[in-house]
């Protein structure tokens, strides 16, 4: 029995995004593949095979680039559904510590 998703639930297709990531990376920065250079993009049987070794540690568990993909998908989903809670759109309730330190350093320099 398939129940409809509640309206407050958003879906992202992490699997598809990870599957497409090596090809997108290659299209952004195509590299000449040499024998001495190990690269997940390789030619086999006359066709190009794009591996997921950089994205999945054992075919299931994520590596750092996959976490970045998951983060970007999640932030895009949040930004679409709830733009008021995107970090760039939120005001800090207290001053940022970096601003406080730089203000104190400016005061010291002026003295």
Tokens 């995107």 — which residue? 86
Q: Tokens standing for 50?
A: 């794009």
**Domain total for the chain?**
1
Q: What is the pLDDT of residue 50?
A: 64
β-bridge mates for residue 62, sequence order = 56
Domain membership flag for residue 8 = no
**Residue 71 placed within a domain:** yes
- The answer to whether position 44 is within a domain reads yes
Q: What is the pLDDT of residue 44?
A: 57
Which range of 4-8, 19-23, 31-35, 99-103 scores highest in mean pLDDT? It is 99-103
Domain encompassing residue 92: 14-110
- Give the residues across from 56 on adjacent strands: 62
Lookup: tokens for 14: 């992490």
Q: Map residue 47 onto helix, strand or coil.
A: strand
Residue 46 pLDDT greater than 60, yes or no: no
pTM for this structure? 0.60
Cα–Cα distance for residue pair 47/89, rounded to 1 Å? 46
Mean pLDDT, residues 31-38: 55
């Amino acid at each position: 029995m398939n129940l409809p998703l509640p309206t407050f639930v958003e879906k992202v297709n992490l699997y598809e995004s990870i599957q497409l990531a090596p090809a997108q990376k290659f299209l952004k920065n195509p590299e000449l593949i040499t024998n001495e250079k190990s690269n997940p993009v390789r030619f086999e049987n006359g066709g190009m095979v794009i591996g997921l070794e950089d994205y999945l540690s054992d075919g299931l568990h994520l590596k750092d680039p996959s976490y970045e993909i998951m983060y970007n998908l999640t932030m895009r989903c949040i930004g679409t559904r709830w733009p008021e809670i995107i970090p760039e759109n939120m005001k800090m309730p207290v001053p940022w510590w970096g601003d406080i330190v730089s203000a104190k350093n400016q005061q010291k320099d002026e003295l």
